[in-house]
Amino acid sequence: MNEPMPILSPAALDMQGVATGSMRDPNSMVVEEVQWTVTSGDFWVIGGLQGSGKSDFLLMTAGLTAPLRGTYLFFGQPMPLFEEHELRERLRLGIVFDGGQLFNHLTVSENVALPLRYHRNLGPAEAGPELAQMLSICELQPYADSTPGALARNWQKRVGLARALMVRPEVLLLDNPLAGLDLRHRAWWLGLLGQLSKGHPWMNGRPVTLIVTADDLRPWRLWARQFAMLKNKRLVILGSWDQLESAGDEMVQELLAIAPADV
């Protein structure tokens, strides 16, 4: 008797022939011919030099802009998901912007609680327990009543992360999260993202699929499982850290901050 064939769930992300435009000029192509599949539970870091299109590519991946061409599926659904009836699918993905992109007229608590208020229609009292838990996870309790403008960049970035995590996304995109952080804050981010990748209690133990952009790949050595880079308008898949280290590409060496004489 034949064994039943397993039912395969769609990839978290699948891009075939995708091209990305610039936020400043949507018709100006910054990345093209992307062939990329991300499996649920993957932890990717995408390196690139300044101006390589990392942020533009991540915004398209988040569904905030549409691909100029090609096919992009998010859990089998064509992206972007703009329609109201697609909200549930859209909330499976969260994004942390470089700098947080916070509302300066709102307090830290109000910024973090926004997803609960707008997407789940929860009032302050109803959102209180989950908000308190997230503020604790991100160590933001001392700043709960402050506005973002009163915080250092280290803490502003944490507020952006806390807000993105409030709806418990299955896929989390982070734009250069370690940029400008001191060693203590950098270690905190790596530790929390490592927990999310393996299954944090906030996510009820379910691993989060992580996609991170970076201009320095070295901090991610012990954390990420897959690496890629943006070079000459192409997404170049590098593979694991061992494969990355053995690559002779000059730009890979630059992203690893290795001087040419040391290569």
Q: pLDDT digit string (tens) for 170-211?
A: 999 999 999 999 999 999 999 999 999 999 999 999 999 999
pLDDT score, position 208:
97
Extended beta strands in the chain, E state: 13-21, 29-38, 43-47, 69-74, 77-78, 93-96, 171-174, 209-214, 226-231, 234-239
pLDDT score, position 27:
79
CA distance 114 to 2: 51
CA distance 22 to 68: 10
How many other β-carbons are positioned within 10 Å of the β-carbon of residue 259?
Answer: 8
Residue 118 belongs to what H/E stretch? helix 108-119
CA distance 139 to 73: 35
pLDDT tens by residue, 146-155: 999 999 999 9
pLDDT score, position 88:
82
- Domains parsed from the chain with CATH numbers: 13-92+171-262 (3.40.50.300), 102-168 (no CATH)
Q: Is the distance from CB of 226 to CB of 232 less than 8 angstroms?
A: no
Is the previous residue joined to 219 through a cis bond, with omega within 30 degrees of 0?
no
CA distance 127 to 137: 16
Distance of CA 9 to CAs 44, 75, 76, 92, 235, Å? 20, 8, 9, 15, 25
pLDDT score, position 2:
53
CA distance 194 to 207: 10
CA distance 49 to 255: 8
- What residue ranges of the chain have pLDDT lower than 50? 1, 5-7, 259-263
Distance of CA 257 to CAs 47, 49, 116, 139, 251, Å? 12, 11, 41, 31, 10
Global pTM reads 0.90
